[in-house]
Amino acid sequence: MTFLLILALIGGMSLSVQAAINGRLGAQVGVLASAWLTFTVGAVISLLLILFFEPAHSQTLLTVPKWQLTGALFGVVYMVVMVAAVPRLGVTIATVATILGQMIMSLLIDSQGWLHNAAIELNPWRLAAMVATALALVCIYLANKESDQ
């Protein structure tokens, strides 16, 4: 479990690096062109990984419930929003706002057991974490606003 937590942290760090790079690229070549490059490179690398490393599964993309395929659409929303937001808001605000949005939806999904996930009780610790993240967003926003003056 610790290993997976470390991998998740590294994944989060890579998203911030990606946001910074793609934000600059998007400002120079356009938001959609930057997003297209990311998805094209990602598709090629994913295909190679599937061909050479993916073990066989009992289901395929053609046999799973179709609603599960819609998850790919949310990656497009994230990518386009981040490429557009980072040059204007900065990496930190865009990332923390994204994390807060993820937390809000994650807590709803967990507490309600939506999308065929196991229900996990909403408790004071989880709410405190969300409030702390919201306060972090406000503090970072105010610090940026103060430094702009």
Entry field: residues in the chain: 149
Contacts of range 32-36, beta carbons closer than 8 Å, 24 or more positions apart: 32/80, 34/83, 35/76, 35/79, 35/80, 35/83
Burial class (CB in 10 A: 0-12, 13-18, 19+), 134: middle
Taking the complete model, does pTM exceed 0.85, yes or no?
no
pLDDT digits (tens, 9 = 90+) for 6-57: 999 999 999 999 999 999 999 999 999 999 999 999 999 999 999 999 999 9
pLDDT at 149: 76
Q: Is the pLDDT confidence value at 140 over 80?
A: yes
Domain-wise residue ranges, the chain: 2-148
pLDDT digits (tens, 9 = 90+) for 63-95: 999 999 999 899 899 999 999 999 999 999 999
DSSP secondary structure code for residue 65 in this structure: -
pLDDT at 107: 95
Confidence band, pLDDT 50/70/90 cuts, at residue 103 = very high
Q: Please count the other Cβ atoms lying within 10 Å of the Cβ belonging to residue 97.
A: 19
Separation CA 49–CA 37 (nearest Å) = 18
Q: Report how far apart, in Å, the C-alpha atoms of 33 and of each of 25, 26, 27, 72, 98 are.
A: 9, 7, 10, 18, 21
